[in-house]
Structure 1
Amino acid sequence: MRHGGGCDKVVAMEMVLEDNPSHSDWDSEPDLLSDFSCPSFVESGTDSQPDGHTPKPFPISKVSQSETASICSGSLDGVEYSLRKEKEIVKMTMPRTLAFCYLSLLWQRETITLSDLLRFVEEGHIPYINAFQHFPEEMKLYGRDKGIFAIESWPTYEDIYKKVIEIAKFLDLPRFPDITEDSYLHPNILCMKYLMEVNLPDEMNDLTCQVVKMTGIGEVDFLTFDPIAKMAKTVKYDVQAVAVIVVVLKLLFLLDDNLEWTLSNIAEKYNEKNKEDKPWFDFRKWYQVMKKSIDEKKQKWEEARAKYLWKSEKPLYHSSIDRAVVYKRREMVVSLQKQFSALVDSAPTVEKKSPSSFQFNWTEGDSARTCFHGHGLQGILKKKGQSLTTKNSLYWLSTQKFCRSYCKHVTTYEESNFSLSYQFIINLFSFLLRIKTSSLHEEVSLIEKILFKRKYGKTKKKSRSRKGRKY
């Protein structure tokens, strides 16, 4: 929102984009009445005319009280937003502002993913909910202006991702700087980052790099965002990277609730007999450590969301007359909250941590939480000539059913159709990225479709031949 001095008219930025009602809380709000007046704007100023003639009124239509309030707070944005009636016209909103910020980060090839950006919002490092309370004192909001910043839900990955593409198309942005192998957003680097995040062996990075190379998802043209291309789309860099890791885990352990436990028994016996040697990776032990850690993290996250105060510390009043009343009520609320907090929990308030791209910290020698970064894959791999290959020769595809529409998306993900190990892996990474499990499953399926192109081709031919049979 743009502000000007006094009652200057400010034209709001508008975008001709697809209408999205999910973030338009201010559309249905009733007019907020205010006792504001702007003499220089509304009054005719008869006293200032020395010749006694009645001056012509300023050529402005009738202004309601709520409109006047918006004008006197230095903006016409609130009025224009509330008058929106035409379809396919969407103004700049807080979610779109967040998408615009990600576009700038992507252009600069900064070391931050979309999931990190949304998590920083969630943790309070980036002003989003009640962002107006960070405005300077001269930027006061009245009337309908408050609707622009009235956010009552957390931003979601899919919604911001769609808005990123919409804004880039609207602005006719050129091809973005290339995402090369030395870029943070390249899958090889992100895979290494997420392997460290979820406490998996470093040796797995060689396998993730092989999958990236075989599928071609590490090519510059595939990774670089080009808004003016015929099929403009940007890669979900973080989701794609963790999907590659899921595919590698399936290649190594199959994740069928059987083979992974058999291999774990072998690794456990070896580690007991060879305590001085480099330990073999034990999937069962890793599962136990990660399940405990992720359950604790989820519990804290759920508690933080449940305790989150949607009301701002700096009250937003509709008019100057309401200011004293609003501040008095706010003081009472804060006082009551402090009293209840003292009764419920006497623990001291934890200071806000600095933003970090890592949510977990694994260190060698921690007896409470084993670090698996240095563990080997010798019990899972075998030599074949001069190279290593997986002992497991089987693989099951996450899905072979893609919708017949142009998008070719995967059918709906249902947990009951998959093994418990696969569900755990999907839920683990989905929580880290704050995305839906179905979104990650879809990305895994798309990578598998490229990696096992021949298998999908044979399945397609078989289905066609069955349809062609006559009985």
Structure 2
Amino acid sequence: MNMPKTLALIHLALLWSRESLTLSDLLRLVNEGHVPYVNAFEELPEEMKLDGKDALIFRVESVPSHRLVQRQAHTLLLFLQLQTFPPISRQSLLHPALLSLRYLADANLPDDLHPWVCRLMDGACLVDFTFDPQSCPVLPRYDMQTAAVIIVTMKLLFGLDDHTEWDLSDESGVQQDSEDMFNLRRWFRLTQAALISAQQKRLHDAARKQWKAKKPLYPSRALKAVVMKRKRTAEQVQMCFEKLSSRPVGVQRCVPSSFIFCWGDEDGADGPSLHHKKLDRVLTLKHNVQTLSNTTYWHTALRVCDPKKCRSHYSEVEATLPRSFVWLLQLFSFLLSVKPPHLYEEVLKVERRVLDRRTLRRTGTTSRAEDTMVT
């Protein structure tokens, strides 16, 4: 057992108990220091002294990635031979129907977008929301799947082809009731400024974080002198850093929160809230039923690759993708602390289930870098 596997075991326990804490939330709590992980041995009682191999287990100087913990959790599933997990219903906060509400609020997207997210999930028959050794042998990634559904919904409504979304924004801006309408251009400007600020803050916090333990571990008594010398050197570097930067090295712990951004009129908010804005300008009324003004949907080739022979193709197609779509991937990747290529693959999985078989057969002969328009 090691520390990454311990995180994976905690993740499995949270899923089994159906707690409203995703893997992204767990890793964020670890990074912010609310869950002891780096130098976790310092929280142990004084009578528990670690040395030898036990000390090496707690010798951690980095936080594992989302993908690594997910992979470790799946390995533990196979090792423990766990049976079907308790079902995740729509009333559960882990279900994408409710989890999407949190992500929409964090991204400052309008509440009117949520019914369309739910309609997309129903139309795609996205019902495999629990682990089952028979029907669903892969551990669901609720956070990434929810973000992928939101991104596909945004593509359906706004196009995200670097043209349609801006045309719709221009049309909504010239209307008399434009103040009540959601404008994608305004949302992009607000969110982009908040995203840049949050990214810089995350980098600064990581640079100032205390990675070395105050109480060093000694793998063996023979190495005690070497460890103490390294500790003194690290302390001297920290003192120099404090003098040069005029600020302490450590990072102040913030109150645990499920949200990255804060939208509203309060002091310290990242910008005004757009949750109450309407989507009327991107919808049309036909036969007393609201339909989308955007009538086309683009996507890259949706062929399923062999995971043993093929890796993510995001780096190959990234230059050909619309910039608005790439930016939206980066936004939700930042919210979940995952890499854009991994979220991109999750978007492709959702699109494969949304589009009908006839469309899949038509796009199966195209290359991955080639975009396909579906009318």
Report the TM-score, using the length of structure 2 for normalisation.
0.88
- 1:186–1:237 Cα contact (<8 Å) kept: yes
Alignment map for 1:337-348 (pairs within 5 Å): 337-346=238-247
SS at match of 1:388: strand
Paired position in structure 2 for 1:224: 130
* Offset of residue 144 of structure 1: 3.2
* Offset of residue 315 of structure 1: 1.6
Percent identical pairs in the alignment equals 37
- 1:143–1:319 Cα contact (<8 Å) kept: yes
- 1:157–1:435 Cα contact (<8 Å) kept: yes
Taking the aligned partners of 2:135 and 2:285, their CA distance within structure 1 comes to 46
Taking the aligned partners of 1:446 and 1:332, their CA distance within structure 2 comes to 49
- The letter of the residue matching 1:290 is T
Verify: 1:236 aligned to 2:141, yes or no. yes
Alignment map for 1:29-48 (pairs within 5 Å): none
- 1:402–1:410 Cα contact (<8 Å) kept: no
Taking the aligned partners of 2:25 and 2:321, their CA distance within structure 1 comes to 28
- The letter of the residue matching 1:107 is W
Pair 365,337 (structure 1): closer, same or farther in 2 beyond 3 Å: closer
Verify: 1:131 aligned to 2:32, yes or no. no
Paired position in structure 1 for 2:332: 429
Paired position in structure 2 for 1:298: 199
Pair 408,180 (structure 1): closer, same or farther in 2 beyond 3 Å: farther
* Offset of residue 243 of structure 1: 0.5
- 1:401–1:411 Cα contact (<8 Å) kept: no
Paired position in structure 1 for 2:69: 160
Verify: 1:211 aligned to 2:211, yes or no. no
Taking the aligned partners of 2:160 and 2:91, their CA distance within structure 1 comes to 32
SS at match of 2:30: helix
SS at match of 2:19: coil
Aligned partner (choices 274, 283, 306) of residue 381 of structure 1:
283
Taking the aligned partners of 1:358 and 1:307, their CA distance within structure 2 comes to 22
- The letter of the residue matching 2:298 is W
Paired position in structure 1 for 2:256: 355
Paired position in structure 1 for 2:274: 372
Verify: 1:286 aligned to 2:195, yes or no. no
* Offset of residue 455 of structure 1: 4.2
Paired position in structure 1 for 2:15: 106
Pair 406,457 (structure 1): closer, same or farther in 2 beyond 3 Å: farther
Paired position in structure 2 for 1:122: 31
SS at match of 2:7: helix
Verify: 1:391 aligned to 2:293, yes or no. yes
Taking the aligned partners of 1:411 and 1:125, their CA distance within structure 2 comes to 36
- 1:401–1:410 Cα contact (<8 Å) kept: no
Taking the aligned partners of 2:252 and 2:147, their CA distance within structure 1 comes to 31
- The letter of the residue matching 1:444 is V
Q: Which moved more, 1:453-462 or 1:191-200?
A: 453-462
- 1:403–1:411 Cα contact (<8 Å) kept: no
* Offset of residue 402 of structure 1: 2.8
Paired position in structure 1 for 2:169: 264
Pair 405,156 (structure 1): closer, same or farther in 2 beyond 3 Å: closer
* Offset of residue 449 of structure 1: 1.0
Give deviations 1:182-236, integer Å, cap 9, x for gaps: 001111101111000100000000100000111111x2xx11112x437621111
Pair 461,129 (structure 1): closer, same or farther in 2 beyond 3 Å: closer
Give deviations 1:227-251, integer Å, cap 9, x for gaps: x437621111000101111011111
- 1:365–1:371 Cα contact (<8 Å) kept: no
Taking the aligned partners of 1:324 and 1:462, their CA distance within structure 2 comes to 64
Taking the aligned partners of 1:408 and 1:191, their CA distance within structure 2 comes to 30
- 2:55–2:217 Cα contact (<8 Å) kept: yes
- The letter of the residue matching 2:3 is M
Pair 410,402 (structure 1): closer, same or farther in 2 beyond 3 Å: farther
Pair 268,113 (structure 1): closer, same or farther in 2 beyond 3 Å: same
Structure 1 residues without counterparts, runs of 5 or longer: 1-91, 464-471
Paired position in structure 1 for 2:95: 186
- 2:242–2:249 Cα contact (<8 Å) kept: no
Taking the aligned partners of 2:61 and 2:341, their CA distance within structure 1 comes to 24
Answer with 1 or 2: which has the greater Rg.
Answer: 1
Pair 335,403 (structure 1): closer, same or farther in 2 beyond 3 Å: closer
Pair 149,422 (structure 1): closer, same or farther in 2 beyond 3 Å: same
Structure 2 residues without counterparts, runs of 5 or longer: 367-375
* Offset of residue 407 of structure 1: 9.5
Taking the aligned partners of 1:416 and 1:262, their CA distance within structure 2 comes to 23
**How many equivalent pairs are there?**
364
SS at match of 1:203: helix
Pair 151,368 (structure 1): closer, same or farther in 2 beyond 3 Å: closer
Give deviations 1:378-408, integer Å, cap 9, x for gaps: 1110101121011110100143333256899
SS at match of 2:298: coil
Paired position in structure 1 for 2:370: none
* Offset of residue 308 of structure 1: 2.7
- 2:264–2:270 Cα contact (<8 Å) kept: no
Which structure has more relative contact order (CA 8 Å, sep 6+)? It is 2
Paired position in structure 1 for 2:159: 254
Taking the aligned partners of 2:221 and 2:207, their CA distance within structure 1 comes to 33
- 2:110–2:277 Cα contact (<8 Å) kept: yes
* Offset of residue 345 of structure 1: 2.2
